Structure 1
Amino acid sequence: MIFDTQNPRMRLALRVVVGLIIALVIAVAYPWIRDRYSAPSASRSPATHPIKGAQTTIDFVTGSLMAFQANSPGTPAALRLSADFLEQAGDSRAILVRARLLALQPESGVNRLELAATKRRFQEPEATDSNVPANDLRKRTETALRANDFPTATASADALCATSRATFSDHFLRMQVGLAAGRLTLDESLAALEKRARAHPEDTAEFTGWLIALGRTSQALDWLARLPVSTLKLPIFESARADALAAAGLWDDARGPISRGAWGAVPPDALQLAFSVRLLDRQTRSQLQQDLWNEALRASAKSLTGLQILNRLAVTWSWGPETATTLLVIIRQHPSATWAYAALADHYAAGKDTPNLKGVIALWREAEPARNDVEARWARLQLLTEPPILTGSAQASLARLHAADHANPDVTTSLALLRWQQKKVPEALVLLETLPAITRRRPDIALYNGLFLSAAGRRAEAREVLSGVDPDNLLREEVALLQTANQASREPKAPSVIPPRPSPKPSPVPARPSTQPIPPIEDVAK
């Protein structure tokens, strides 16, 4: 059909379609961050299924973020962007992401205020919140955007950003509405956000982070260079500049602001040693690199912030074993830094290293016994890797957890997996369908949803769900389940025998400059 450019309705339809396509640039930004900040093995697209409309755009980004979080530990820019999107999608996991961000940058007052605001939004009754009008407008905007009700979304977003309590994230939400409705181009949206950030210096780092996320690092450096002198003197400017220089790979220039505390206080000797390791990377002198990195860890052993910065450098430089070793030292020397357990678990999950992942989750379970999600994750790993005769403790734990916290998606999914293994497929489906639809689309849950649907003979639904599951984001044991589910979704009848669990084998960790094995923690944390 020939497109009639003189028809006003056809022109409007084209603008809406183009706007929706541009809106997906945000989703595309996340694989780019993963390529920039995390190990090569983790640099993969979180999903490949088609994206339709604003509702699916938000769901896709939310799901992609959780896969991204599992593959990109320890990067403040990534955590900040993830928290913003989760909060805008109405997902309370934004609290956990902001807590990890504050743990990584404890000196940041902005992070502390944002965490407090996010907790108020999700944890306090609206009647006690002094920001009820802004919260109502925010929720109304998000609901309308999900329903493709662009007039309502636009009116609510405009009203929200006109309030005195509007945050940078609120202005970003308005940008999303404008893109989805076809009212704004990406450049126009960024220009509006730049104006907001220029008027509010505390938003400098966040706006810089979005430019980096969109692959506009050069634009980020240019915008930072044009800031007024009053902003250049703020600590947050140094942080934003260091982020942009690091994203551009300009480490000779980034080293200055980092040494001056842009990412926090770090022992000078440790930073010098770390950059020496990077310099030697070009000469592939692996044993010397290993020795120097261990010396950097010893120099920072008593400084949590210093170790956090070494971890950030190792992640950014895609040095897998150095990342693992650094996180192990943090766990050993600073037991209260429980975020390190999550980061190390994410690291091993990205490398498909199930044995080490089980070990870290077991330690994390002991460190935070009240964390139901950690307990559920431990139980699920037991179900995936151990014969039924050895999973009695995990089964009892899941029954207890579900009775106390039945709305927890990790608990529900793990219990549903147990029911499937017991050949109680209807019960598994009933359990999983108690979760909201958007939760069932999470990459770490969609696999199990498709598995149960295929086992129940609902093949068309299973194929649709499984088409969005990326095996690169799964453990080897889960890939075996994916193969079972895919096969069952194509057959007229689901297989009656559950395949045996494969014997877990450690996998190589992503490439690093050193070829030496990770030394025992006692050798690097004296």
Structure 2
Amino acid sequence: MQLMAGRRQSRRVKALRIAGSALLLLLVAGGWWSYRPAVTRYHHWKQRRALTQARDFLAQKNFTSAKLALDVALEAVPGDPDALRVAADLLDSVGLPQVMPLRRRLVQMAPGSVEDRAALVASALRFHDLNAARDALSEMTPEQAEQPAALKAALSFALATNNKPIADLLYDRLQKAEPTNGNLKVMHALLRLQSPQPATVIAARQELEVLAKDPRNSLFIHREMTVEAMARHDAQEAAQQAKRAVADPRSTLEDRLHLANIELNFERRPFGDVWAEVVPHAQGTAADAAAAVRWLIVVGEAARVPAWIEGLPAALRADPAVVAAQANALAAAENWDGLQQMIESGAWGKVDHDAVGLAFTARVAGARQNAELQRKVWDEALAATGNSLTELNVLYRLATLWRWDAPVERTLWAIVKGHPNEGWASQALFSHYREQKDTSGMRQLMDSLRGSDPTMPRYKYDWALLSLLCSPSANWTSPKETMRTLYAGEPNNASYATGYAFALAQSDKADEALAVTGKLSADALALPARAPYLAYIYGVGRQKEAFGKYASRQADLTNLLPEETALFSQGRAAVNRPAPAKTSASDKPTKTEKTPVATSPEPSAKP
């Protein structure tokens, strides 16, 4: 009996254990399934909270804390496009260039989103990166390019590049897409004011007079027509439009400064009288006070700044914008001791005293014509910044203020390498090299940029093209392979096609180069900047008529790089070189002779 009872008890315990295990599994599974949504909700809450904090920090201009908060938001829910858009909009709103990588990432995540592509164009234009804007527009499909958001982005680019004919066409297309958009009518009429056709200008002015009767448009139209009249040196019209703008209750200090400029430059009113009318409107906010100081500097009255600022309320005097403007006035007056003190006190941002002190020591060395000491001390100043963007910006401003080319270049390089998102620095450095026609410097810069952002095709293309110009070779080099890859990915891109054909021509593959250029449209071939490359390609290909066509354009191209100019003579030498004699039967090697092996290596990858 004991045995039977024990057996029954064991069965009962076993059943209870099984039931308990099943219940435990159900509890674990239920907990897990309830845990997952809870974790997701937590991460989204964390993201929203971090975005709110970032917005608050940006409002306080606490950019370091704002960046940390944005990093937390983006890491909380990785790859969330909505969070990326909010973060990008926040960075855009305060003018921080870190927005560009976010905009590019959004385009990569949603290539079909026209709004994201248009936002990338807008951000690029805001930071004066015309090449990035051009790239973003060129990557749109034909269907995307016809949508209103894309047309507006293209219009902004056309206006930024002063391409009036294209802007005119885009306005027409946009008005058809949005016939009730009154702003488009105003902007189009303002554009037509710049037409070379007198009848078009008269019609545009009449249309603007009608549109200005609408209070929603009046102030904007009067402002724009003031600027347009000043550009035409029509003092009477400019004064009339400026007075209309100032009479508007919505007018700002900027409107009054426009009128003041007209009164000083055209009507020759005494400065004291004009300034007395400006002063009451320049003391309301720190932004207005700073704008007034900048205006005084521009009109050559910087000497009035210290006394006027001294009379401002204490809160305005202490505002960072007013303090920075006061420092600018000292710079305009070349009061270097006073400027150094204000910079060290934080007028241009929080800085290290050592870096600033070394910069001003370099100025003394330069004034004493000691170039070697100047360079050494300036490099020490760069090192003392510890790669701080604020301090590097201060050094750049000082070097620019003192008109020092070499220190400006080295400071820009420090910014480009340490802060690759600062697109203005690479643009400024590229413009510096372009002005100096320093092809090697341009190539070095593009090599650095393609290293910092390997996904940017433009950096690859520019580096490859500049490399082909700087280091021509018959060998199939890495830059040539880059050209081949770019062309293979976008065979309809005329720039890539020309670059690839140029690479082939350099490698004695004239027939293949001509086959590539033969696919280009007449419009693509007509671009003036392509003339040196086409002249070289057709010269190497012994196409005398085509070579002559593009070589004839050399006289009109005055801003070429030295290596580009040389392409004309290289193409001329190639096209005039006697053709190789045909090999006769008697010249063929006998069985005992060895056929010479070509010394030029074949390309590493067939183009």
Match of 1:150 among 201, 207, 214: 201
Deviation at 1:380, TM superposition (A): 0.8
Structure 2, gaps ≥5 residues long = 1-119, 131-150, 158-169, 303-327, 580-607
Deviation at 1:157, TM superposition (A): 5.4
Matched, 1:428 2:536: no
Deviation at 1:362, TM superposition (A): 1.0
Let me know the Cα RMSD of the aligned residues.
5.6
Distance in 1 separating the partners of 2:239 and 2:485: 52
TM-score scaled to structure 1, two decimals? 0.52
Distance in 2 separating the partners of 1:392 and 1:411: 16
Match of 2:467 among 382, 404, 408: 382
Matched, 1:480 2:566: yes
Deviation at 1:158, TM superposition (A): 5.2
Matched, 1:135 2:224: no
Bigger RCO of structures 1 and 2 (CA < 8 A, at least 6 apart): 1
Matches within 5 A, 1:20-419: 96-100=124-128, 122=156, 132-139=181-188, 141-142=190-191, 145-146=194-195, 148=197, 149-155=200-206, 164=216, 171-172=223-224, 175-176=227-228, 184-188=232-236, 191=239, 199-201=251-253, 227-231=278-282, 233-234=286-287, 235-239=290-294, 250-252=333-335, 255=339, 259=343, 264-265=348-349, 267=351, 269=353, 270-271=355-356, 273-402=358-487, 411=496, 414-415=499-500, 417-418=502-503
TM-score scaled to structure 2, two decimals? 0.46
- Report the secondary structure of 1:284's partner residue: coil
- Report the secondary structure of 2:335's partner residue: helix
Distance in 1 separating the partners of 2:447 and 2:192: 39
Q: Conserved in 2, the CA contact under 8 Å of 1:407 and 1:435?
A: no
The residue identity in structure 2 corresponding to 1:98 is R
TM-aligned CA distance change 1:334 to 1:462, over 3 Å: closer
Q: Conserved in 1, the CA contact under 8 Å of 2:494 and 2:520?
A: no
Distance in 2 separating the partners of 1:463 and 1:221: 59
When Rg is computed on C-alpha atoms for both structures, the one with the higher figure is 2
**Corresponding residue for residue 11 of structure 1:** none
Q: Conserved in 2, the CA contact under 8 Å of 1:266 and 1:303?
A: no
The residue identity in structure 1 corresponding to 2:564 is E
Distance in 2 separating the partners of 1:401 and 1:207: 52
Q: Conserved in 2, the CA contact under 8 Å of 1:338 and 1:364?
A: no
TM-aligned CA distance change 1:385 to 1:255, over 3 Å: same
The residue identity in structure 1 corresponding to 2:556 is G
**Corresponding residue for residue 556 of structure 2:** 468
Q: Conserved in 1, the CA contact under 8 Å of 2:225 and 2:241?
A: no
Q: Conserved in 1, the CA contact under 8 Å of 2:344 and 2:352?
A: no
TM-aligned CA distance change 1:409 to 1:428, over 3 Å: closer
Aligned identity (percent) is: 22
- Report the secondary structure of 1:431's partner residue: coil
Q: Conserved in 2, the CA contact under 8 Å of 1:264 and 1:309?
A: yes
**Corresponding residue for residue 165 of structure 2:** none
The residue identity in structure 2 corresponding to 1:341 is S
Q: Conserved in 1, the CA contact under 8 Å of 2:439 and 2:561?
A: yes
**Corresponding residue for residue 84 of structure 1:** none
TM-aligned CA distance change 1:410 to 1:338, over 3 Å: farther
The residue identity in structure 2 corresponding to 1:479 is T
Matches within 5 A, 1:471-510: 473-483=559-569, 495=576
TM-aligned CA distance change 1:267 to 1:375, over 3 Å: same
Structure 1, gaps ≥5 residues long = 1-91, 103-116, 499-526
> 1:332-380 deviations in whole A, cap 9, x for unaligned?
4334334433333333333333333322211101212232222211121
Q: Conserved in 2, the CA contact under 8 Å of 1:265 and 1:305?
A: yes
Distance in 1 separating the partners of 2:450 and 2:276: 46
Deviation at 1:221, TM superposition (A): 12
Deviation at 1:283, TM superposition (A): 1.8
**Corresponding residue for residue 43 of structure 2:** none
The residue identity in structure 1 corresponding to 2:351 is P
